Amino acid sequence: MKIEFTDVLITVIFLLALAIPGYLFAKLKMLPEKTAEAVSTIVLYCCQSVLVITSFQKKAYEPKIGLNMLWVALITLAVHLIMFALLKLIFIKKSSDDKVRVLKFASVFSNCGFMGFPFLQSLFSDNQELLAEIMIYGAVIIAVFNILTWTYGAYVMTGDKKQISLKKIALNPVIISLIIGFVLFIALQSPLVDIAPNNSFFDGVLEKFMQSMNYLADMVTPCSMIVIGIRLANVNLKQLFLDKRAYISAVLKLFVMPVVAILSVAFLPVATTVKYAIFFLLSMPSATNTAMFSVKFGRDGDLASVCVLLSTVLSIITIPLLYLVISGVFGITI
């Protein structure tokens, strides 16, 4: 399977097109005020968690995948640490400013769960074997993301180390799902549907069970995009495209961080699937957590929403163009 520039471009465009229903219904006042928060909760605590578990159920265990998962975790952590250091230097004189705190958060944390997972599912839909492997690595990236948001992210937003929540990490649904999925992956050595004899009663039960799980997992894509559409409808478009601070965040998130990711994987002797997972998920726009954390910790929620949505709109251009860099300049192709 060869991924072309047009494949990436079309995937981004049609993925974001799924936000249109949410945008229209919100503009027409056909949705309750808290719809975005309610749908986000369902996606985060149910659908995305199920998706992480089912990601491990598409492929039989191989030792190399376990090693690659470790590589993914280490490289993802390294990219974030580099970005943390860069942001500290860039905003060194204004690190305590409330708006700068929002900009720093938006500049480093990617929408890898709400947009990244759906993007990978769509882009690699023609090769289920490849998709199965790359989704496992995606689950690891999302786990690292969640750990960092409740440690460094909470500290950036507040400036208070007491806000670092180990409890939030331990009870995070994605972290729990990753542990469950990985334990089953190692223990069973093969997908759950393959452990019972063919055409037996338990074979039928397991197939129906996984079918139901997959229904929930498949909800991540449309529900996540609908939430983005609702949030876009509630933002002043003039503010969205004229706020200079949001453009600073967008440049850092959509250009600087992906370039750091590309340079971090380009010369390492790791699988191309590892490189693709890291590049694509860390090239996603600013995390929706930016807005949620801003509200939670009393920061500028409007600026946070603008940063998230502006970077989401601009990602239509940046993700395909940066794919040309990683594939054309560095020759990283599948």
Model pLDDT for residues 29-44, shown as the tens digit of each residue? 999 888 888 888 898 8
CA dihedral (115, 116, 122, 123) positive or negative:
positive
192 contacts 26 by C-beta, under 8 angstroms: no
Average pLDDT of the segment spanning 110-115:
89
pLDDT of residue 238 exceeding 70? yes
201 part of a folded domain: yes
331 part of a folded domain: no
Average pLDDT of the segment spanning 182-201:
85
pLDDT at residue 317, as a whole number: 95
330 part of a folded domain: no
Provide the 3-class DSSP secondary structure of residue 64: helix
Q: What is the mean pLDDT of the chain?
A: 89
100 part of a folded domain: yes
Please state the domain count of the chain.
1
Other CB atoms within a 10 A radius of the CB of residue 93 amount to 8
CATH code assigned at 93: 1.20.1530.20
Buried b (16+ CB within 10 A) or exposed e, 51-90: bbbbbbbbbebeeebeebbebbbebbeebbebbeebbeeb
Residue linked to tokens 């005020």: 33
pLDDT of residue 195 exceeding 90? no
* Half-sphere exposure (Cβ direction) of 127: Cα atoms closer than 13 Å: 14
Higher pLDDT, 173 or 283: 283
Give residue 209's domain range: 5-324
The confidence band for 188, taking pLDDT boundaries of 50, 70 and 90, is confident
d(CA 180, CA 206): 17
pTM: 0.90
Cα-Cα-Cα-Cα torsion 313, 8, 173, 293, nearest 10 degrees, comes to -20
pLDDT of residue 311 exceeding 70? yes
42 part of a folded domain: yes
Average pLDDT of the segment spanning 301-316:
89
Q: In this predicted model, what pLDDT tens digit does every residue of 115-171 receive, in sequence order?
A: 998 899 899 988 888 998 999 999 999 999 989 998 989 888 888 787 777 787 888
184 part of a folded domain: yes
18 part of a folded domain: yes
Least confident of 34-43, 89-98, 210-219: 89-98
d(CA 30, CA 167): 37
**Concatenated DSSP letters for 148-192?**
HIIIIIHHHHHS-GGG--HHHHHT-HHHHHHHHHHHHHHHHSS-G
pLDDT of residue 1 exceeding 80? no
d(CA 329, CA 260): 15
pLDDT at residue 269, as a whole number: 92
pLDDT at residue 193, as a whole number: 82
120 part of a folded domain: yes
